[in-house]
């Protein structure tokens, strides 16, 4: 009976050692998976950072275009004012000339070359 108790103790000890070995082996697999996930996370973070840098660059370009648009709007407003001024002057002169009589028109034409 003592031999059976000793054998049972040895078997139990072997089972406990095997269970501990399994746990340690399982922990190393988990550590490897964690390391792989950390590497993947680092890679993704690098891609995100790269994308943010590209976005910042595009935002700078967009701001430059916005400034150019504002400058062009000012120039166009100036050109529109000039166009309106010349159109008004043309219409005034056209109206003045069309209202001239024949003699006045001849005098105006003659005086233009003096």
pLDDT tens across 41-99, in order? 999 999 999 999 999 999 999 999 999 999 999 999 999 999 999 999 999 999 988 88
Q: Which two tokens stand for residue 25?
A: 């082996």
- Find the mean pLDDT for residues 15-29: 73
pLDDT at 114: 66
CB 84, CB 77: distance < 8 Å: no
pTM: 0.52
pLDDT-based confidence at 30, cuts 50/70/90? Answer: confident
Q: Residue holding tokens 């043309």? A: 90
Q: What is the mean pLDDT of residues 13-35?
A: 76
Q: Predicted confidence band at 27 (pLDDT cuts at 50, 70, 90)?
A: low
């Amino acid at each position: 009976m003592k031999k059976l108790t000793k054998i049972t103790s040895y078997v139990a000890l072997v089972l406990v050692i095997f269970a501990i070995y399994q746990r340690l082996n399982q922990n190393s697999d988990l550590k490897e998976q964690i390391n792989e996930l950390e590497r993947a996370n680092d890679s993704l973070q690098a891609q995100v950072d790269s994308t943010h840098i590209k976005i910042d660059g595009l935002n700078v370009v967009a701001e430059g275009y916005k400034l150019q648009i504002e400058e062009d709007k000012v120039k166009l407003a100036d050109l529109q004012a000039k166009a309106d001024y010349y159109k008004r002057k043309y219409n005034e002169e056209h109206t003045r000339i069309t209202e001239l009589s024949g003699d006045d028109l001849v005098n105006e034409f003659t005086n233009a070359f003096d």
